[in-house]
Chain A
Amino acid sequence: MTPTEEFAEFVGASSARLRRAAFLMCGDWHTAEDLAQTTLARLFVSWRRISRRGAAYSYALRTLTNLYLADRRTKRAGELVTGDLPERAAEPPGVETRLVVLDALGRLPPSARAVVVLRYWADMSVEQVADLLGWAPGTVRGQSSRALARLRPLLSDIWEEPDAAEPALGDRHEKRTAWHG
């Protein structure tokens, strides 16, 4: 298999997931598509330098997160949080949940939002997120606990925290993922 074929296979396997991660960070499918595309295009440039193919997805997530954060910082792009969704013939079930979650995410600062997506959606540990973003683990831990504290009242109706009194949901979560290796 040539590197290009390998890359094509990687794109097929990962692009949908990257686009979803981007959407959770930026809250807009069009921007998410652009972020995912740009990420993959950059990955292609470096593809032959990524000797461990297993690291490719982490690298893609890191590029995606950095692109998202850089875009936020340099362009001061103002995301419009709106309650109006595109019109739909029949709303699928769960649309309200979706709105509430997106609205809650939209209230987080970009870096906290990225940390939430990486930790609780991409199932990464504090150390993995710290390594991915090049931050100190303590920074990631602080960002995620502050983010969770902020999300808690917003999502109280729909979010089942394993133990609401214990803010370290992430730690429990880590243990779970650790068992899976």
Chain B
Amino acid sequence: MDKKSLHDLLESATLPEPPTGATPDSVIRAGIGLRRRRRAWYASGGAVAAVAVACAASLTVTLGTGGPAAAPGPTSGTVYVLGDGASQGTVTPISVATGAAGQPVVVRSAPANIQGPGELMAVTPDGKTIWASDGTDTVTAISTATNKAEKTITVVHGRAGITVQVLANPNGKDVYVLDSLGTVTPISTATYQPGTPIRLGRYSPDWMAITPDGRTLYVAGSGTQPVARPGARSMSDVIPIDTATGTAGAPIHVPGQAFGITITPDGRTVYVWGESATSLTSIIRPSTQVTPIPTATNTPGITVTVGTGGVGGTVMAPDGRTMYLLLQANNVIGPKKTIHNPSRVVYFSTVTNTPEKTINLGNPWPQGLAITPDGRTLYVPAASSSRQGDTGRVPGASRQCPQPGAVFPISTATGSVGNPITRVGCLPMFVAITPDGRTAYVVSGVVSVQTAVPVWGGSVTPVATSTNQPGKPISVGGQLEQILTVP
């Protein structure tokens, strides 16, 4: 037998090579899904407040007119779950009262192929219409009265362009669709007609948020500046858009990579949060940073580093005084051992613009953050029920779910982490809390046994917030991407 060099032996071991299903497009979509997972967003307006909670996802909770309803009464409303099935994209309504899933509304009759959830669904302030993206180029208006699709509009044009986010203006007049090509398309909620697209130029957008008065839309992303030189500090651009005229203002430069925008309920300050990045090392081990921008001047304030580790989600307290940030554990992998820096929840004061308190979560692989409408409890969905992470054999483990997850309640007043809420599915990805604050819906995915890679899909489990007891799981088909509640 011919002898070969080790390089040639290794090379020959890779042959014959099976065909691959991966294309640049599928990778980009997976990447956009991953990026979405890092974010969370909370915006609060008079009529509607929406919470999007991320890591793997976002989720939106709408609050009824006049803020959280504390009055007792039968739990009502509907939960809508956006899913991406093998053959179609659907929005499934679930009755809060009965827990029964209704007939799914098809928003795409082909595989959307989005890996990972996004902020692809929004509800108008009157709660009458849901606008759901199919993850690619269209949005569909769904009536919440009939749970039927009313109109589908193509909004994204161009190669490699897909929907990044759908957002409703609190004034009720428009819905905005942000696409990956840097275009914001307003759609009139009265006529269902798209307006003049607002083009942001050579810009890669990540996120948009709107002031509670609906007058200014802020888009975070990068690309308006010249290409950075090697070693140069990377910057992101936040572009303010006047919603009345549809014109974009001058970009506001902030350091690092902006992942998201949180606006205080009074509309005075925009918080841009993201990760630092100056070198390859900081890509591997990033720090989370926050930059305040007063909306009166649109001049960025001092950027504050709140801790090491990437940001896994943020929520704003309903009173607007504290922004909570979930910092992911970061593992420094060495040849002999791995150093684990734990996951943390940081209380960032919007009064002093400094981090005030840090809660150590251990590392149960937290996936996101949600807050109750009264602001008293944070819910953290996590991939493990142990704060030590993977502890080997755990009760309830199976081949399909070797490490069942849990949701950790945290008292915002004391910072104490409560007992994990288990039996909420294999991999709790995100939590949506009903406007009355009585029920938290936990969306769980399952983990691929082969690769330990999360696969979205699975179940929605209601949890009573008074007792933290889980109810019966509701099965919803497809990879679940977003959940939204309508009173």
Which A residues lie at the B interface, using CB under 8 A? 2-5, 7-9, 11-12, 15-16, 19-20, 23-24, 29-31, 33-38, 40-52, 55, 58-59, 62, 66, 69-71, 73-75, 77, 92, 94, 97-98, 101-102, 105, 111, 116-117, 120-121, 123, 133-135, 139, 143, 148, 151, 155, 157-162, 169
User: B interface, by DSSP: helix, strand, loop or mixed?
Assistant: loop
| Chain B residue with Cβ nearest A109 | B335
B9 is contacted by which of A36, A66, A101 (Cβ under 8 Å)? A101
Contacts of B277 in A (CB 8 A): 46, 49
| Chain A residue with Cβ nearest B232 | A51
Which B residues lie at the A interface, using CB under 8 A? 1-7, 9-18, 20-28, 30-35, 38, 115, 160, 180, 202, 204, 222-223, 227-232, 234, 257, 277, 280, 283-284, 331-335, 338, 389-390, 402, 448, 450-453
| Chain B residue with Cβ nearest A77 | B452
Across chains A and B, which 8 residue pairs bring their CB atoms closest together, nearest first? Answer: A44-B31, A160-B3, A49-B277, A8-B24, A41-B30, A101-B13, A11-B24, A121-B10
| Chain A residue with Cβ nearest B6 | A120
User: A interface, by DSSP: helix, strand, loop or mixed?
Assistant: helix
Contact A4 B28 (CB under 8 A): yes
Contacts of A44 in B (CB 8 A): 27-28, 30-32, 34-35
* Min C-beta distance of A22 to chain B, whole Å: 10
Contact B115 A4 (CB under 8 A): no
A2 is contacted by which of B25, B26, B223, B450 (Cβ under 8 Å)? B223
Contacts of A23 in B (CB 8 A): 14
Contact A2 B204 (CB under 8 A): yes
Contact A11 B4 (CB under 8 A): no
Contact B14 A75 (CB under 8 A): no
* Min C-beta distance of B274 to chain A, whole Å: 10
Given A48-B234, A51-B232, A59-B283: A123 and B257 within 8 A (CB)? no
| Chain A residue with Cβ nearest B334 | A135
A-B CB contact pairs (8 Å), 28 listed:
A8-B160, A11-B27, A15-B27, A40-B22, A41-B30, A41-B115, A44-B32, A44-B35, A45-B35, A45-B38, A48-B222, A51-B231, A58-B280, A59-B283, A62-B284, A66-B333, A73-B333, A74-B389, A75-B452, A77-B452, A94-B12, A94-B15, A98-B13, A139-B335, A157-B1, A159-B3, A159-B4, A160-B4
Contact B31 A42 (CB under 8 A): yes
Contacts of A50 in B (CB 8 A): 280, 283
| Chain B residue with Cβ nearest A139 | B335
Contacts of B334 in A (CB 8 A): 134-135
| Chain A residue with Cβ nearest B403 | A75
| Chain B residue with Cβ nearest A19 | B20
Bound-state Cα–Cα, A58 to B38, Å:
24
Given A3-B204, A4-B204, A44-B31: A98 and B333 within 8 A (CB)? no
